[in-house]
Structure 1
Amino acid sequence: MSSHSSSSKDRLASITAHISAPPPTPMASSFDAVPLAPTDPLFGLMAAYKADTFDRKVDLGVGAYRDDNAKPWILPVVKKAESILANDPNLNHEYLPIAGLPTFTSAAARLILGSDSPAIVENRVTSVQTISGTGAVHLGALFLAKFFPRPQDQKVLISNPTWANHPQIFSNVGLASTTYPYFDPSTKGLDFDGLCSSLESAPEGSVVLLHACAHNPTGVDPTKEQWKRIAEVIRQKKHFPFFDCAYQGFASGDLDNDAWAIRYFVEEGFELCVAQSFAKNLGLYGERAGCFHFVSPPSPNAQDGIKRIASQLAILQRSEISNPPAYGARIANLVLNDGKLFAEWCENLSEMSGRIKSMRTALHDKLVELGTPGDWSHILKQIGMFSFTGLNEKQVLKLREESHIYLTKNGRISMAGLNTHNVEYFATAVDKVVREV
């Protein structure tokens, strides 16, 4: 027999043996105990809306601006910035520095703190480019978890209600949270007394998360006088203020007005930090452009302290994302640093906030015209993208089942989802469900 024939038989025997061999013994996974996580409520709501084929369906859950035809709107100023970038012969895709694009982060600090801010003038600020506002909250939480002196069991104070992502961001870095009263269901406004009382009774030196403007999800903001009282309580209790600002310019249409609370705290000498997002006010939702700012208090050693803090923030950033994304930051950088583009941006902000305000008026007026039971004046008093309607979960589910209107179970609606084509339809559906449920 030839060696070639013998080799073929050996290979055939090996293949046959392999085919006839018993299957491998099943092995248990080390992760068999991992539970199935629930679907994120908001993204689950978005999926349900997209799957709905009803021609008059209404999406009031989306936390993004829509025009009067319910379409995403690219800001005209952003289109101009993109055109400039597209024709820049020096544009490349190299890494940004760990702390981000310096001209962007410094302009972002001036935007939120004010160009004449004492903290900026005295070099008491360090800024790090982040993965939008979410990344800024996370970076701040991570820094506090590692360096903020506190009892091990001390909890971060977060408003009730708040953005659903806040508690889990802090939890993921090992910081438990508890709530302080914020929304008063009876008035559909601010529970100011409950808020102050809770901050006064909280353990001294607690981290307090504050919404700088256009509180999410309620749309209820403190007045300037109330902010002054909140600052007074925080100073007395030596709490640490952590501002989250996702809607500067989007709330009132005025960038300076929407940053008032943060600037007041800085002028009062507080040590604090700020999470800043450009998702909403520049419409850069998917580009994830944001900044984290840390402000040290005025002291002879402030500049040395801020250098040490900046060095640690850079290490945390390096270990998590290494370098932030460039495209959105470059767009924001152009808008913030070019006088003509900045002026046009202010006009775009006025247009967006103005349309939302007009929808508040239209919805309120229609409900009043229909004689819908209840007082709906809170729709006009609240501010920004969202309104806490006061609708309960049963009413919300009935709106979805019968009228194909999608909003979160707590009754929060995105005012940007309303337009001249659907506001009457929504108001009529609300009138019906309030009377029936």
Structure 2
Amino acid sequence: GLLDDVTGAPAGSIFVLHACAHNPTGVDPSDEQWKQISAALLRGKHHVLVDMAYQGFASGDAQADNAALRLLVDDGHSLLLAQSFAKNFGLYGERVGSLSVVCADVEEAARVTSQLKLLIRPMYSSPPIHGALLVTEVLGDEALSAKYYAECASMAERIRNMRRLLRAQLEAAGSPHEWTHVTQQIGMFAFTGMSADATRQLTADHAVFLTADGRISMAGINEQNVDYVASAIHAVTKGRELGAAQ
């Protein structure tokens, strides 16, 4: 498991961790498990890069979804945070995000800033500003940010409702499989457990698109198509074990 990997890694290794709404599994560590992960990382003197692309889509509370990040910082990790606003702000085409580096002191921050400038200059020099200004405008205004947080909670609840509906329709269709994992998972994606053969058949025969490892976008399911999606999944999985080839 993860703790074994952290414990067995060479000192000073780099670990990339999803802050919340893990993609593709939809399964996040508990608060207690995060404490164990943080302690193991400190013991190994490891470096941490936190990937946060789905803030607000785990619990529906954008601030609560920061819990693991706050724990790591409070525990003393000098970490890097790669944050994307593409999905939770609906700005996918703008490719807007940020890199934050938690440093030990002002002097270290100055050195890190200098090195980042050296890396950025030959790569892209000046990033697109339009999406960044939109995020700044929303989060920098009390009324707009309150509205955004409320809408974020609404988006998360809609995804949870689609999970409930998809599972209910699969069970109503008489599926021989256990689908509780669909409602137990969180975030934008469901890790269905379907085999690569099943996913290919689902796309070829029913035009339902998902990755070969069985990950499907719950955000792409709505009340108008959930019955069709469930029926299609049932059609390609009813005659086989969930993760087995035909």
CA distance in 2, matches of 1:348, 1:406: 27
On the 8 A contact 1:274/1:294 being kept in 2, the answer is yes
The reply on whether 1:328 has 2:93 as its aligned counterpart is no
CA distance in 1, matches of 2:99, 2:225: 38
The secondary structure found in structure 2 opposite 1:255 is coil
- Give the Å deviation of 1:231: 0.6
Residue 276 of structure 1 corresponds to 83
Residue 70 of structure 2 corresponds to 263
Residue 157 of structure 2 corresponds to 354
The structure 2 residue matched to 1:380, chosen from 169, 179, 183, is 183
CA distance in 1, matches of 2:226, 2:219: 11
CA distance in 1, matches of 2:156, 2:173: 26
The reply on whether 1:208 has 2:11 as its aligned counterpart is no
Tell me the amino acid that sits aligned with residue 216 of structure 1. N
Tell me the amino acid that sits aligned with residue 193 of structure 2. G
- Give the Å deviation of 1:213: 0.7
Matches within 5 A, 1:59-78: none
Residue 198 of structure 2 corresponds to 395
Residue 156 of structure 1 corresponds to none
The structure 2 residue matched to 1:412, chosen from 206, 215, 218, is 215
Q: What CA deviation, in whole Å up to 9, does each residue of 1:150-189 have, x standing for no partner? A: xxxxxxxxxxxxxxxxxxxxxxxxxxxxxxxxxxxxxxxx
- Give the Å deviation of 1:410: 0.6
On the 8 A contact 1:253/1:354 being kept in 2, the answer is yes
- Give the Å deviation of 1:251: 2.3
Tell me the amino acid that sits aligned with residue 425 of structure 1. Y
Residue 364 of structure 1 corresponds to 167
The reply on whether 1:235 has 2:52 as its aligned counterpart is no
Q: TM-score, normalised by structure 1?
A: 0.54
CA distance in 2, matches of 1:371, 1:225: 37
On the 8 A contact 1:196/1:230 being kept in 2, the answer is yes
CA distance in 2, matches of 1:290, 1:267: 23
Residue 29 of structure 2 corresponds to 222
Q: TM-score, normalised by structure 2?
A: 0.95
CA distance in 2, matches of 1:431, 1:305: 56
The secondary structure found in structure 2 opposite 1:406 is coil
Tell me the amino acid that sits aligned with residue 44 of structure 2. K
The structure 2 residue matched to 1:310, chosen from 85, 110, 113, is 113
On the 8 A contact 1:219/1:384 being kept in 2, the answer is yes
CA distance in 2, matches of 1:286, 1:243: 22
CA distance in 2, matches of 1:435, 1:375: 11
Matches within 5 A, 1:25-64: none
CA distance in 2, matches of 1:325, 1:288: 8
Structure ranking higher on relative contact order (CA contacts 8 Å, 6+ apart): 1
Number of residue-to-residue matches in the alignment: 240
Q: Show structure 2 runs of 5+ residues with no match.
A: 241-246
Higher-Rg member (1/2)? 1
- Give the Å deviation of 1:340: 0.5
Residue 288 of structure 1 corresponds to 95
The secondary structure found in structure 1 opposite 2:168 is helix
- Give the Å deviation of 1:195: 1.1
CA distance in 2, matches of 1:218, 1:227: 17
CA distance in 2, matches of 1:264, 1:228: 8
- Give the Å deviation of 1:436: 2.4
- Give the Å deviation of 1:288: 1.6
Question: Where in structure 1 do 4 or more consecutive aligned residues deviate above 4 Å?
Answer: none
Aligned-residue Cα RMSD (Å) equals 1.1
On the 8 A contact 1:250/1:280 being kept in 2, the answer is no
Residue 237 of structure 2 corresponds to 434
CA distance in 1, matches of 2:77, 2:196: 40
The secondary structure found in structure 2 opposite 1:334 is helix
Q: What CA deviation, in whole Å up to 9, does each residue of 1:27-86 have, x standing for no partner? A: xxxxxxxxxxxxxxxxxxxxxxxxxxxxxxxxxxxxxxxxxxxxxxxxxxxxxxxxxxxx
Q: What CA deviation, in whole Å up to 9, does each residue of 1:299-333 have, x standing for no partner? A: xxx11111111111112111211112111111111
CA distance in 2, matches of 1:305, 1:407: 44
Residue 250 of structure 1 corresponds to 57
CA distance in 2, matches of 1:432, 1:330: 46
